[in-house]
């Protein structure tokens, strides 16, 4: 059984890298794929980390990335793409970073590097009220069908635990929840913060008390661009030290009490 539910906290515990381009007030040429810009790939259907407010993508990841770009004297450009295309896009050099509630996994590390983590999260299980599924063991041991967002860690972990035959994959969490409401799946596995919003918006659904997994979020960076990786890590360390990361997370996920 997994650990008890943990509250989201910032965890960017890194040492400050000595090299700094900020001191000269100029960006090192070649740091990003387009001079003067930091191009971020995300999937803007993952509140409160990235979602639309009108025509603007906002959220924890969006604000952290914007602050990183500002401290590197770059302009942030966010591109909303399918979640399962983000790693490939960073690997190919189409995007500078992937930032979408992205969990560090061994599989992803084969294709990209990751910055130091800046937040922690968990995967939660959503079921209908009165469901026979009461915990992760019940879910795994039964013949239940699970809905997931394609390419997410919920997808990866469930694939390992129950196999592809019992998984239905969807483009986003809302589609998976629709399938749960319609009886096409028996449960949905998704990150806890989006899960809270989805359950609030859909009467008759609950989140199981015990989480499925716990994980850390970081930004994906091309393996060949160690300079950008080091610079982002330096800035994340500054933002952790001066309280910026905590303030951004608190804005979207207020502390209890």
The CATH number of residue 41's host domain is: 3.40.190.10
> At a CB cut-off of 8 Å and minimum separation 6, what does 225 contact?
31, 96
Q: Same domain for 84 and 206?
A: no
Would residue 131 count as lying in a domain? yes
Instruction: Please report the pLDDT score of residue 27 as a whole number.
Output: 39
End-to-end CA distance of the chain: 28
C-alpha to C-alpha distance for 245 and 224, rounded to whole angstroms: 27
Rounded to the nearest 10 degrees, the angle between the axes of helix 173-181 and helix 192-201 is 50
10 pLDDT higher than 50: no
Banded pLDDT at 211 (limits 50, 70, 90): confident
In a domain, 7, yes or no: no
**Does one domain contain both 83 and 165?**
no
Q: How far is CA 245 from CA 6, 21, 48, 167, 236, in A?
A: 18, 21, 14, 35, 8
Residue 9 domain-assigned (yes or no): no
Q: Does 127 lie in the same domain as 114?
A: no
Instruction: Please check whether residues 105 and 136 belong to one and the same domain.
Output: no
* Torsion angle, alpha carbons of 229, 59, 154, 91, to 10: -30
When pLDDT is cut at 50, 70 and 90, the band that residue 12 belongs to is: very low
Tally of structural domains, the chain:
2
* Closest of 147, 110, 139 to residue 212, by C-alpha: 139
In tens, the pLDDT along 69-85 reads 999 999 999 999 999 99
Within a domain: 76: yes
Task: For residue 1, tell me if it sits in a domain.
Answer: no
Do 210 and 223 have their domain in common?
Answer: no
Residue 57, SS3 per DSSP: strand
Residues 6+ apart with CB under 8 A from 254: none
Reply yes or no on whether the pLDDT at 25 is more than 50: no
Q: Can you tell me the mean pLDDT for 146-173?
A: 94
Task: Check pLDDT > 50 for residue 21.
Answer: no
Please indicate, yes or no, if residue 58 is contained in any of the structural domains: yes
Q: In terms of domains, do 109 and 228 share one?
A: yes
Are both 107 and 188 inside the same structural domain? no
Judgement on whether residues 125 and 114 belong to the same structural domain of the protein: no
Judged against a pLDDT cut of 90, whether residue 126 lies above it is answered with: yes
Distance of CA 68 to the CA centre of its chain: 17
Can you give the residue range of the structural domain that contains 187? 121-214
Shared domain for 56 and 70, answered yes or no, is yes
pTM of the model: 0.73
Segment 96-125, tens digit of pLDDT: 999 999 999 999 999 999 999 999 888 999
């Amino acid at each position: 059984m997994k650990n008890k539910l943990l509250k989201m906290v910032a965890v960017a515990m890194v040492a400050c890298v000595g090299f700094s381009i900020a001191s000269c007030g100029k960006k090192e040429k070649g740091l990003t794929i387009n001079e003067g810009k930091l191009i971020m790939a995300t999937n803007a259907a993952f509140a409160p980390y990235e979602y639309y407010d009108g025509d603007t993508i906002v959220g924890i990841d969006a604000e952290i990335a914007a602050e990183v770009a500002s401290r590197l004297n770059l302009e942030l450009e966010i591109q909303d793409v399918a979640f399962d295309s983000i790693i490939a896009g960073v690997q190919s050099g189409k995007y500078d970073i992937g930032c979408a509630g992205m969990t560090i996994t061994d599989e992803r590390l084969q294709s990209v590097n990751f910055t130091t983590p800046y937040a922690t999260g968990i995967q939660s299980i959503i079921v209908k009220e009165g469901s026979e599924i009461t915990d992760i063991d019940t879910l795994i041991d039964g013949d239940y069908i699970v809905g997931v967002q394609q390419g997410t860690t919920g997808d990866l972990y469930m694939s390992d635990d129950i196999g592809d035959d019992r998984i239905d994959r969807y483009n986003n969490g809302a589609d998976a929840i629709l399938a749960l409401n319609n009886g096409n799946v028996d449960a949905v596995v998704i990150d806890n913060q989006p899960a809270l919003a989805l359950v609030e918006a859909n009467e008759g659904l609950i989140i199981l008390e015990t989480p499925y997994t716990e994980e850390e979020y970081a930004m994906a960076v091309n393996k060949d661009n160690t300079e950008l990786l080091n610079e982002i890590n330096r800035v994340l360390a500054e933002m952790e030290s001066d309280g910026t990361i905590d303030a951004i997370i608190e804005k979207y996920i207020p502390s209890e009490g």
